[in-house]
Each structure stands twice: as structure tokens, then as C-alpha cells.
Structure 1
Amino acid sequence: MAMRSPLPVRDGVGATRLRVPDEGPWPTVGAYMAERFFHLDPERLLSRFDRGEIVAIDGSALSRETPLGVHDFVWYYREPPVEKQIPFDVEILHQDADLVVVDKPHFLPTTPGGKYLQNSALVRLRNALGIPELTPIHRLDRATAGLLMFSTRPATRGAYQLLFERREVEKVYEAVSPLPADWDPAAPALGGAAFPLVHRNHIVKLRGQVCVQTDPAREPNAETLIELRGFDDRVLHTLLRPHSGRMHQLRVHLAELGAGILNDGFYPELLPETPDDFTRPLQLLARELRFTDPLTGAPREFVTRRTLQEAPRLSGA
């Protein structure tokens, strides 16, 4: 059972939980946190104890002198970062007693993290809908736009999460890639395989690395069905049906086939980090979600209203 926070959601953001070691070279919880968060001014951090902002599981405030080993966990609110506003809105497509389905724009993260707090789909929706219990059932990369599903009630959340864990949700994406140099309009193919094609590999996420790695020596753990949607003299437009849900799977699979997605700064080559260019979004869109509702047994289908700006206007297929 998940550990319940002693602090309520505030401004759409839940409190952060930190595990505190039982023993170590730190005499107090405050000393441990000052070393762990070495990039922060120590006195500014310790002053938060004085204001009662760091609490134990029962909601009681810790002091600067609280010794190490008394509490296994502490909770606190993250201090809001100075955020760059993401100038795109989340569009609500569906809302009922259990689910909220939205169209997420490019550049907006699903959940708070790093330099994004209020500029996340979760926090914006909690504030807009007044539902502090709202929780994402799955996630999209910050760079990816499209369908995103949230649970409104803890009582029914697990039933919907199981759909994704059991791969019982049909997900369809679309992507736009530069037209491969060896493209043959008379015999459309990627990586030497005609459409539709299935690409499989083994994807590994290594700690401390932003890009995933692939291991050809290991059994595949990622699989995508790739269909041709169209092309012109510049770009290739594909539909992607992932059977698995590995990190960056679709981006990696198209890159391996010589059709890396337009405006992807990670694959096939990791480019230096630059400020967001809102005129050049990653050309990847979560297009469709289909599943049988675990509560009612009724079929559910959701389709994005968004489009990819670089998609060919006329099919070349």
C-alpha cells in the first residue's frame, strides 16, 4: 500500500517524500539534508525547519536539532523554481467520475520535475479541475504531444493502471521523419523491410544517461508495428503501434531504421541541450487509445484532435 502523505496537495503539487538514513556521519536530519542538497544554501534550507515546513509521517514538524534515526521519512513542499511558461494549453477531451482524457501539447511534461512544476499537465489540471487526487495513469515524454489519461479517484485507479501493465490498451502514434536517402516510392520500405513491418530490439535505460541504449545480444523486450501513412518529396509519415512501452521506444526504433523523427535532439544522435524552440516540436503524436473499460465492460476509444505540422498534406503512397 502506498504511503499517504501527511501534507495535502498545495497549488496542484503534492509534497515530496525523502527517505532519511538510520545512521551515518550526520548528527541531525537537517545536517543530512544540507549535505544531500549541497547545491542549496544551507542556512536557507535549515530555516525551513524553523518555519515548521519539514514534517514527519504524523504531520509533526521537525526541528534543526531532530537527530538522525528518529524518522525514516520526511515530507516537504518543493520550493517553486523560476519557470519558463509553456505557451500551450492542455485540452480536455473527456471527463467522468473516474477518468480525464486530455490532449497534451508538445513541450509540456506530464508531471512536475526538474525545472517544471506549475508548467506540467498534472498540476495545470489539478488546479483547473479542483481535483487534488488527479493522477496520471500513464505518461508521455515532454517532447511528445497527444492523448494522456488521468485517474480522478484512488478507489478505481488500480483497475485502469492494470490495463497498461497487462498491455490491454491499444495505443497508436504517428510520426514524421525526413525522407530516407534510399527511399523508393515504387517499393516503400524501411531497413530493407516492406510496410507494414515489425521492429524489435532490447532497450536498456542506464542510470545517469538521458538516452537509452540497445543491446543486440539480448532477447528483444521492445516491439513496434510500423505502418506507412504517407510521404512526399521531403518527409515520411508513419503510424506506430507499440506492443511494449519502453522508454523512448518509438524514437529509437525509427532511428535504427534510418528514419529518426524530425526535431529529435536525442536519436539517432544526442545533440547539445538548447532552449526550447516552440516552432520546432518533435514530430511524434499519441494519436489513439482503445480499451475495454474495466468497470463497465464497455469499449472506449479516444482520438487526438492535434496534428503534426510537418505531415505531408497529400499521401505519396
Structure 2
Amino acid sequence: MAMRSPLPVRDGVGATRLHVPVEGPWPTIAAYMAERFFHLEPERLLRRFDRGEIVARDGTPLARETPLGAYEFVWYYREPPAEKQIPFDIEVLHVDDDLVVIDKPHFLPTTPGGKYLQNSALVRLRNLLDNPDLTPIHRLDRATAGLLMFSARPVTRGAYQLLFERREVEKVYEAVSALPQGWDADAPALAGRAFPIVYRNHIEKLRGNVCVRVDDDREPNAETLIEFVNADERVLHTLLRPHSGRMHQLRVHLAALDAGILNDGFYPKLLPETPDDFTRPLQLLARKLRFTDPLSGRGREFTTRRTLQDAPR
């Protein structure tokens, strides 16, 4: 069972939990944290202990003298970074007692992390609906736009999470790729495969790597059905129906078929990191979600109101 934070959600952001070693060369918990967060000015961190801002599991404030081993976990609020504003709004499509569905814009992360706190879908939604219990049921990459579902209260959260764990949610995406070389409008195909294409491979997320690794020698663990929608002299428009939910799966599968998604800086080749260009979003959109509601037993379907700017007209 997950540990409940002793600190409430503040400004839409939950407290961070830190595991502290019970033994080691540090005389105090503060000394351990000062070494771990070496990029922070030590006295600034110690003043947070003095103000009672770092607490134990029962909410007890820790002092800068609290010895190592006194507590295994501590909680604190991250100090907000200087964030660059993401100039696109979330759109709420559905709200009830248990479920919230939004249309997420490109560039906005699903949850806080790194240099994004207030500029995340979760924090914006918590502040908008004044509901600190909101939790995403699944994830979208920061670069991907479209449908995103949130649990509105803990008591029913597990029922919706099981839908995704059991692959009982039908997910449909759409993508726009540069027109592959040798494209034949009379016989649409990718890498010699006629549509519809079922593509499978083995995708592995490596710790510390921003891209996933494909291992062709292992049993496939990722599968996508790819359907042809339209094409013009510039681009190809496809529908993607993932059977699994591996990290970057759709981007990897299209790139493997020589149809990498427009404006993808990760696949087929990792490009140097550059500032966001809001005029060139990744052309990938979570278009539709369909499932049987685990509480009511009724069928539910949600469709994005967004479109891909580079899709053939």
C-alpha cells in the first residue's frame, strides 16, 4: 500500500517523498540531504529544517540536528523552479464524481517533474477543479497531445487503473509523417508492407536514457495496428491502435517503418536538445478512448477536439 503523504497538496502540487538511508557517513539527515542535493546552497536547505518544512511520516518536523537513522522517509515541498510558461490550455471534456477527461495540448507534461511543476496537466487541473485527489490513470508524453483520463477520488481509482492494466481500453491515435521515399499512391505501403500493418518488436526502457532500446532478438512486447488514412504530395496520415503501452511505442514503430513522425526529435535519430518550438509540435495525437465503465457497466467513448496541423486537407 502506498504511503500517504503527511503534507497536503499545495498549489496543485503534492509533497515529495525521500528515502533516507538508516546508516552511513552522515551524522544527520540534513547532512545527507545536503550531499544528495549538492546543487543547492547548504545553508538554504538548513533553513528549511529550521522552518519546519521537512517532516517525517507522522508530520513531525525534522530539525537540522535530527540524527541519521531516526526516520527512513521524509517529505518536503519542492521549491518551484523558474518555469517557462507553456502557452496552451487544457480543455476539460468530461467531469463526474469519479472520472475527469481532458484534451492535453502538445508540450505540456502529464505530471510535475524536472523543470515543470505548475506547467503540467495534473497541477493545472487540480487548481482548475480545486480537487487535490486528482490522479492520472495513464500517461501521455509531453510532446503528445490529446485525451488524458484522471481519477477524481481514491476510492474508485483502482477500478479505472485496472482497465489499462488489463488492456481493456481501446486507444486510437493519429500521426502525420513525411511521405516515405518510393510512395505509391495506388498501393499504399510502408517498408514493403501493405496496410493495415501489424508491427511488433521488443522495446526496453534503459535507466538514464531518454530513448528506448529495441532488441530484435527478444520476444516482442509491443504491438501496434497501423491503418492508412490519407496522403498528399508532402505527408502521410495514419491511425494507430496500440495493443500494448510501451514507452514511445508509436514513435518507435513508425520510425522503424521509415515513416518517423513529423517533428520527432527522438526517433529515428536523437537530435540535440533545443528550446521548444511551439510552431512545430510533434504530429501525434491521442484521438479516441473507448471502454466499458467498471462502475456503471455502460460503454463510454471520448474523442479529442484537437487536430494535427500538418495532416492532409
TM category, shorter: over 0.9
Q: Which amino acid aligns with 2:177?
A: S
Q: Say whether 1:231 aligns with 2:231.
A: yes
Count of matched residue pairs: 313
Give the gaps of 5 or more residues in structure 2.
none
Tell me how far apart the structure 1 counterparts of residues 82 and 56 of structure 2 sit (CA, whole Å): 27
* Secondary structure at the counterpart of residue 229 of structure 1: strand
TM-score (norm 2): 1.00
Tell me how far apart the structure 1 counterparts of residues 89 and 33 of structure 2 sit (CA, whole Å): 36
Alignment of 1:54-69 (within 5 A): 54-69=54-69
Cross-structure match for 1:20: 20
* Secondary structure at the counterpart of residue 128 of structure 2: helix
Q: 1:185-209: CA deviations, max 9, x gaps?
A: 1111012110001000000111111
Q: Say whether 1:110 aligns with 2:110.
A: yes
Structure 1 residue 151, shift from structure 2 partner: 0.5
Cross-structure match for 1:101: 101
Structure 1 residue 27, shift from structure 2 partner: 0.6
Q: 1:249-308: CA deviations, max 9, x gaps?
A: 000000000000000000000000000000000000000000000001000000000000
Structure 1 residue 46, shift from structure 2 partner: 1.2
The sequence identity of aligned pairs, in percent, is: 83
Alignment of 1:287-302 (within 5 A): 287-302=287-302
Cross-structure match for 2:138: 138
Q: Say whether 1:154 aligns with 2:185.
A: no
Alignment of 1:76-91 (within 5 A): 76-91=76-91
TM-score (norm 1): 0.98
* Secondary structure at the counterpart of residue 74 of structure 1: strand
Alignment of 1:147-296 (within 5 A): 147-296=147-296
Tell me how far apart the structure 1 counterparts of residues 253 and 39 of structure 2 sit (CA, whole Å): 37
Q: Which amino acid aligns with 2:76?
A: Y
Q: Which amino acid aligns with 2:19?
A: R
Tell me how far apart the structure 1 counterparts of residues 215 and 45 of structure 2 sit (CA, whole Å): 43
Cross-structure match for 1:75: 75
Tell me how far apart the structure 1 counterparts of residues 184 and 36 of structure 2 sit (CA, whole Å): 56
Cross-structure match for 1:309: 309
Q: Which amino acid aligns with 1:40?
A: L
* Secondary structure at the counterpart of residue 43 of structure 1: helix
Tell me how far apart the structure 1 counterparts of residues 244 and 171 of structure 2 sit (CA, whole Å): 10
Tell me how far apart the structure 2 counterparts of residues 238 and 308 of structure 1 sit (CA, whole Å): 11
Tell me how far apart the structure 2 counterparts of residues 91 and 187 of structure 1 sit (CA, whole Å): 39
Tell me how far apart the structure 1 counterparts of residues 149 and 121 of structure 2 sit (CA, whole Å): 11
Give the gaps of 5 or more residues in structure 1.
none
Q: 1:220-252: CA deviations, max 9, x gaps?
A: 000000000100000000000000000000000
Q: Which amino acid aligns with 2:153?
A: R
* Secondary structure at the counterpart of residue 31 of structure 1: helix
Tell me how far apart the structure 1 counterparts of residues 200 and 192 of structure 2 sit (CA, whole Å): 14
In angstroms, what is the RMSD of aligned CA positions? Answer: 0.4
Structure 1 residue 42, shift from structure 2 partner: 1.1
